[in-house]
Amino acid sequence: MAVYTDVNEEQLRAFLGEYSIGSLLSYKGIAEGVENTNFLLRSSGGTYILTLYEKRVNRDDLPFFLGLMDHLAAKGLTCPVPVPRRDGELLGSLAGRPAALVSFLDGTWLRRPAPIHCGEVGRALATLHVAGNDFPLVRPNALSVASWRPLWDKSRERADEVEPGLADEIDADLRALEAGWPDDLPAGVIHGDLFPDNVFFIGDRLSGLIDFYFACNDHFAYDVAVCLNAWCFEGDGSFNLTKGMALLDGYASVRSLEPRETAILPLLARGAALRFFLTRLHDWLTTPEGALVVKKDPLEYLRKVRFHRRITSGYDYGLRQEIPS
Ligand SMILES: Nc1ncnc2c1ncn2[C@@H]1O[C@H](COP(=O)(O)OP(=O)(O)O)[C@@H](O)[C@H]1O
Ligand SMILES: N[C@@H](CCOP(=O)(O)O)C(=O)O
């Protein structure tokens, strides 16, 4: 459960006094999520999500995240829209935390996505990449390749507790990724964390994207790699080529991947898997027993790192072969 900061009614009423959303009817903590504290809030003016930003979110990044949601929504992508306060500010303060109200999105996330949903998410991802093109703010990816070694250094000593030999194995991955990581691919605003729990569906139709708190500027193809990892593996660790094909086709229906992007997809997918392995491992080793948050399994992502090591071509993920005319 992710309610790190409790809010009492008096504090909340004072906070809402800055907004024009009518009177408070109810609010309750949302069990899902890892990073921030979220409440579902009903007022006489509508239904909202109230987010209190917790430790991993840098306050200076909040104008980027909130401004981006506004920008993407204005371009027709369905995502939460920040609600401005009476003074025009999107950000307030509640219980000692930076806090914002955003619109509530209908839909639910899918525990078992099928190829049709992977196609929808591929299309939405490319739409986001295109729509972000003229977003004026810039936020470098704080969790890209340069951050992995310092993150790894925090866990390395205990890695062999997870699996004997793991420390040497990950050292070798890091060296290979640092040596081969590209810096000249098409880039722009990426979501950075478009996992199934951040994509809502109504029936088989994608109804909206949430959780832009890892959004940043980075390679578009890296974001594709994050999604291949999050959407196209089965519970037994196997890669589902039909899902990969659907996701990549959906993406290509809006934005074509260039040959230099497809050529390096295996390395990007391996790096994307390592990034989530490292943050999960760090959380796994540091989150105290009994904390009110569900820890995510780092080994799921270790298996993905191992899978991508063996892949040499983007076609193994379901990319279509160009048929020469
Ligand atoms: N705008 C929204 N509309 C509807 N539900 C939302 C919205 N934002 C968040 N939620 C709910 O809150 C949960 C946690 O949100 P999320 O942004 O993923 O949190 P965190 O950043 O802490 O991981 C989501 O799984 C969803 O149930
Ligand atoms: N998607 C990440 C964890 C971030 O959690 P979210 O609830 O903010 O999506 C992972 O699976 O490791």
Distance 174 CA to ligand 1 centre (A): 32
Q: Is 162 exposed, middle or buried (0-12, 13-18, 19+ CB in 10 A)?
A: middle
- What is the number of the ligand 2 atom nearest to the C-alpha of 195? 1
pLDDT for residue 286: 87
| Span 121-157, pLDDT tens digits | 999 999 999 999 999 999 999 999 999 999 999 999 9
Q: What CATH number does residue 72 fall under?
A: 3.30.200.20
Residue 323 inside a domain? The answer is no
| Span 88-123, pLDDT tens digits | 999 999 999 999 999 999 999 999 999 999 999 999
* Final residue belonging to a domain, choices 68, 103, 138: 103
Q: Which of 5, 32, 41, 55 to mutate to test the pocket of ligand 1 (most atoms within 8 A of CB)?
A: 32
Residue 108 inside a domain? The answer is no
pLDDT for residue 39: 96
In 25-165, where does DSSP find H-type helix?
A: 62-74, 115-131, 145-162
Q: How far apart are CA 303 and CA 66, in angstroms?
A: 34
Q: How far apart are CA 252 and CA 198, in angstroms?
A: 21
| Span 69-82, pLDDT tens digits | 999 999 999 999 99
pLDDT for residue 117: 98
Any ligand 1 atom below 6 A from CB of 102: yes
- Mean confidence (pLDDT) of the chain: 94
Q: How far is C-alpha 53 from the chain's CA centre? A: 16
pLDDT for residue 35: 81
Distance 276 CA to ligand 2 centre (A): 8
Q: Are residues 89 and 185 in the same domain?
A: no
Q: What CATH number does residue 202 fall under?
A: 3.90.1200.10
* Final residue belonging to a domain, choices 103, 134, 161: 103
Q: Are residues 64 and 162 in the same domain?
A: no
Nearest CA to ligand 1 atom 25: 32
What total of structural domains would you count in the chain?
Answer: 2
pLDDT for residue 323: 66
- Stretch (H or E) spanning 48: strand 46-52
- What is the number of the ligand 2 atom nearest to the C-alpha of 32? 7
Residue 240 in this model has a pLDDT that exceeds 90: yes
Residue 322 inside a domain? The answer is no
Distance 248 CA to ligand 1 centre (A): 26
Q: Are residues 209 and 295 in the same domain?
A: yes
Q: Are residues 93 and 136 in the same domain?
A: no
Does ipTM exceed 0.90? yes
* Final residue belonging to a domain, choices 103, 134, 157: 103
For residue 157 the two structure tokens come to: 């000593």
pLDDT for residue 291: 61
Which residue segment(s) compose the domain that 287 sits in? 115-317
The mean per-residue pLDDT over the stretch 268-290 comes to 91
Q: Are residues 226 and 254 in the same domain?
A: yes
pLDDT for residue 292: 60
Q: How far apart are CA 97 and CA 9, in angstroms?
A: 16
Residue 2 inside a domain? The answer is no
Residue 109 inside a domain? The answer is no
